[in-house]
Amino acid sequence: MALPPTPTNPSEDVGPLDRQNVVALEVEKPSQVRRFLVELIETILLALFLFLAINFVSARIRVDGVSMEPSFQLGDYVVVNRLAYRAGEIERGDIVVFPAPNDPELDYIKRVIALPGDSIAIYNGAVVVNGVTLHEPYLLEVQRGNYAERIVPAGSVFVMGDNRNNSDDSRSWGFLQIDSIIGKAIFRYWPVTNMTVVEHPVLLPNQP
């Protein structure tokens, strides 16, 4: 007895309702792929936007040296607020990050000691700003040497490291242009054991 012929088209062995389900699945599959691709692109664009926004308002630097000991140690990672001086004024005691004057490929981190118009001098290790000797509890040790009195020019500040006897700063290369400052150090996030908000003591009242 002869067997019935085998259908060559798979759709021939399904009823009208099954045929509708097959068509629906074929339509739905490309739709799911498109939705997945759209969501993937949206996620990538959002991540890129957040990355650019975070880098616009902040920077992250690694402390490479001992010039700011004991406030910062070699290998510390610090978040820097790039917008600090667009919204506010620079003050004595601020810890700032800027390209090294003698090597722009490096970033320095130092403390602001004197502002535009201030007089700055160092006598027997004591820093004198506008005739007042600064109290500096953050210093690693008493600094050696003197610095003849000078007036900080407009648009500049005088900066020094807290480790005064091992710091390349304004005493050697001069005043720092405020426009060259990358930003203000605000948070140390590594190592975790030393994670802390950066303190910026106001050393003297600002001049009117």
d(CA 131, CA 183) in angstroms, rounded, equals 28
Between 141 and 14, the higher pLDDT residue: 141
125 found inside a domain: yes
Residues 86 and 138 in one domain: yes
Residues 129 and 173 in one domain: yes
The CA-atom distances, in angstroms, between 32 and each of 38, 41, 43, 44, 201 are 10, 14, 16, 18, 58
Closest CA to 91 of 187, 157, 169, 175: 157
Q: Using a pLDDT cut of 70, give the percent of the chain over it.
A: 78
Catalytic residue (choose from 29, 31, 110, 170)? 110
Between 75 and 30, the higher pLDDT residue: 75
Number of domains in the chain: 2
Residues 87 and 130 in one domain: yes
pLDDT over threshold 90, residue 13: no
What are the two backbone dihedrals, phi and then psi, of residue 35, each rounded to the nearest 5 degrees? Answer: -65, -40
> Does residue 110 carry a catalytic annotation?
yes
Residues 86 and 148 in one domain: yes
| Containing structural domain, residue 174 | 63-197
pLDDT over threshold 90, residue 56: no
122 found inside a domain: yes
pLDDT digits (tens, 9 = 90+) for 93-128: 999 999 999 898 899 999 999 999 999 999 998 999
What confidence score (pLDDT) does residue 208 get? 41
Residues 169 and 89 in one domain: yes
202 found inside a domain: no
Catalytic residue (choose from 67, 71, 167, 170)? 67
Residues 45 and 70 in one domain: no
> Does residue 67 carry a catalytic annotation?
yes
